DNA sequence: AAGTGGTCTAGACCACCGT
DNA sequence: CGGTGGTCTAGACCACTTC
């Protein structure tokens, strides 16, 4: 083997070679020179253009494909991906962390904590009618003593064996679950709803205040783990997200 | 060089070697054997374990890191990433496509289309007070002749030179913009709001119906491209997202 | 100084697509 | 069949962290 591979070792550029290739492709796309669906130069052509190895080009394109810029078809070529849909990402923190990140003080009121047979809509959400008793909690989260979020959660007791005992003032069920079994998958639905008089009272908002309702269902390989309904009303009730139009540059 | 590199060419396994390494790591994490913060075996150790080249291990771990499972610290090691926050992704389609994907029929009413000096809050959103006249459109999108979304959009006229002329019944301003200048970045804010009597009338909902308000701001390298306010009320007004708890397996 | 991940190479074989 | 992307290797050098 050679002692000095021509690339990095010798007269390396300030930036990585991979990044240079990627930047080149990105520029062509963003300037519109390579439109959606355009077939970009092959790996070997880019190898010739940049004088780098094919692996370098390959990984540059691979990364761009994983970021949604390119679509690669083995045996055919690499194409500029269609950006017709864009992704909005909402980074949900743990409620406690969300509040504390804003500099607020969190407090939780546990209104209900029980292990009971769920009503049928909840049982349905858990996938089967033969669900056994489930852990159920209703919690009001305060920010600086102002009600911020009303959480109504059902959970398979298997995942929080100590659910009836743990202190919920300083940790959320969510974070608790995370510690026991991280990495799950789920779906979320967001709506604007009118809420009941009791919910208005718990959230301390005037009658008729619209609320943001988030329905969340979380599952792991073993099945549905937890189903939750979160209500937010008033000034801090917004959700903030970041649009990633197939990318983040 | 050898003609038969020991790996793939000869007695290859059904799955890729990279995937085997990745699957191994994933299993350790999901079973909890490697907890959050745990320092996993080094690349060289995994090389020894699996009998593959370091590049293979490296790319397996690199992929897992980009998916949020691992955090790699150069010079230190590879650690199981903290999944304390999770990401909810909302794949927004073009409104027209969203409706048609549901099997509905789309129609748009253009209530306003003008190029005017924006009111100061809009000018502020565009980043500077010295904004020139902006393209402004107010559009009601119907699904099967039922009002579905009210769109109020301001846009830099540079990005839609033919904005006053184009037919907006069969394409959205968004898709139009996409075609001219794809790949942008933005932010989004979702709230539950009460809407004005006129908005209730346009959306054909009873007085007091809560609405989902999405404020969206989009920019490119050149600055803010467009600012939009979308209102949805009633049954179809939900936003559906998918939770990606640092992953999608 | 030893170990870690980050990067790059030159070559090889493969499955697949297109003609 | 020639070209495309997909994968893997063995070796090399680097910047960095850790002790």
pLDDT digits (tens, 9 = 90+) for A43-62: 999 999 999 999 999 999 99
> CA at B38, C1' at D19: how many angstroms apart?
20
Which of B88, B210, B232 has the CB atom closest to A90's CB atom? B88
Render pLDDT for B65-104 as a digit per residue (tens, 0 to 9).
Answer: 988 889 999 999 999 987 756 778 787 778 888 888 889 9
Handedness of CA A213, B206, A200, B230 (dihedral sign): positive
Of A28-32, A114-118, B236-240, the range with the highest mean pLDDT is A114-118
Distance CA B21, CA B33 (A): 16
pLDDT of residue A40: 95
Distance of CA A33 to the CA centre of its chain: 33
Residue of chain B nearest A191, judged by CA positions: B238
3-class state of residue A160 by DSSP: coil
Q: Which residue is nearest to nucleotide C10 (CA to C1')?
A: A53
pLDDT of residue A10: 30
pLDDT of residue B186: 82
Task: For domain B17-80, give the fold.
Answer: Arc Repressor Mutant, subunit A (1.10.10)
Q: Is B100 exposed, middle or buried (0-12, 13-18, 19+ CB in 10 A)?
A: middle
CA-based end-to-end distance of chain B: 39
pLDDT for A201 beyond 90: yes
Do the beta carbons of residue A109 and residue A202 sit within 8 Å? Answer: no
Higher-pLDDT residue of B161 and A23 is A23
pLDDT of residue B232: 94
Poorest-pLDDT segment among A215-219, B76-80, B153-157: A215-219
CB-based contacts with strand D under 7 Å?
Answer: A 1-5, 8-9, 40, 42-45, 54-55, 58, 61-62, 65, 72-78; B 2, 5-8, 16-19, 51-56, 73-76
> CA at B37, C1' at D19: how many angstroms apart?
21
Tally A–B CB contacts below 8 A.
191
Do the beta carbons of residue A149 and residue A172 sit within 8 Å? Answer: no
pLDDT of residue B84: 59
pLDDT for A77 beyond 80: yes
pLDDT of residue B12: 30
pLDDT for A7 beyond 60: no
Q: Do A89 and B84 touch (CB under 8 A)?
A: no
The residue of A69, A191, A232 whose CB has the most chain B CBs within 10 angstroms, and thus the best one to mutate to test that interface, is A191
Residue spans of beta strands (DSSP E) within A57-171: 70-73, 77-80, 86-92, 106-116, 134-143, 146-155
> CA at A225, C1' at D5: how many angstroms apart?
40
Q: Which residue is nearest to nucleotide C3 (CA to C1')?
A: B75
Over residues A99-128, mean pLDDT: 91
Distance CA B13, CA B34 (A): 26
- Strands A146-155, A223-233: parallel, antiparallel or unpaired by DSSP? antiparallel
Which value, to the nearest 10 degrees, does the dihedral of the CA atoms of residues B165, B171, B173, B174 take?
-160
pLDDT of residue B119: 92
Question: Distance, in angstroms, between A220 CA and closest chain B CA?
Answer: 9
Q: Which of B97, B113, B121, B126 is closest to B160 using CA atoms?
A: B113
Over residues B154-177, mean pLDDT: 85
Helix (H) or strand (E) holding B22: helix B17-30
What angle do helix axes B43-50 and B54-66 make, rounded to 10 degrees? 120
Q: Write out chain B residues lying below 8 Å of A234, CB-based.
A: none
Tell me what the pLDDT averaged over chain A comes to. 83
Q: Which of B181, B245, B234 is closest to B212 using CA atoms?
A: B234
Q: Which of B36, B55, B34 is closest to B44 using CA atoms?
A: B55
pLDDT of residue B8: 32
Percent of chain A residues topping a pLDDT of 70 = 88
Distance CA B61, CA B43 (A): 8
0.95 surpassed by pTM = no
Chain D bases closer than 7 A to any CB of the protein? 2-18
Chain C bases closer than 7 A to any CB of the protein? 3-18
Percent of chain A residues topping a pLDDT of 90 = 48
In CATH, A88-244 is 3.40.1410.10:
yes
> CA at A189, C1' at D6: how many angstroms apart?
38
- Strands B106-116, A185-193: parallel, antiparallel or unpaired by DSSP? unpaired
Domain ranges of chain B: 17-80, 88-244
């Amino acid at each position: 083997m050679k002692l000095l591979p021509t690339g990095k070792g010798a007269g390396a550029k300030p930036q990585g070679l991979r990044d240079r290739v990627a930047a080149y492709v990105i520029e062509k796309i963003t300037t519109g020179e390579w439109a959606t669906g355009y077939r970009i130069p092959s790996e070997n052509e880019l190898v010739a253009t940049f004088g780098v190895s094919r692996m370098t080009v390959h990984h540059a394109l691979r990364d761009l494909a994983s970021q949604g810029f390119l679509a690669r078809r083995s045996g055919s070529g690499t194409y500029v991906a269609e950006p017709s849909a864009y992704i909005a990402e909402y980074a949900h923190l743990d409620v406690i962390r969300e509040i504390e990140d804003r500099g607020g003080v969190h407090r939780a009121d546990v209104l209900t904590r029980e292990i009971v047979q769920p009503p049928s809509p909840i049982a349905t959400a858990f996938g089967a009618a033969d669900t056994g008793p489930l852990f159920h909690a209703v919690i009001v989260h305060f920010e600086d003593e102002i009600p911020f979020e009303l959480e109504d959660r059902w959970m398979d007791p298997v995942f929080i064996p100590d659910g009836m005992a743990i202190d919920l003032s300083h940790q959320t069920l969510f974070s608790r679950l995370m510690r026991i079994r991280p990495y799950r998958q789920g779906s979320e639905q967001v709506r604007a709803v009118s809420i009941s008089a009791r919910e208005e009272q718990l959230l301390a908002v005037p009658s008729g205040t619209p609320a943001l309702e988030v329905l969340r269902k979380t599952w792991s390989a073993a099945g549905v783990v937890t189903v939750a309904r979160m209500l937010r009303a008033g000034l801090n009730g917004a959700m903030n997200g970041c649009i990633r139009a197939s990318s983040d540059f």
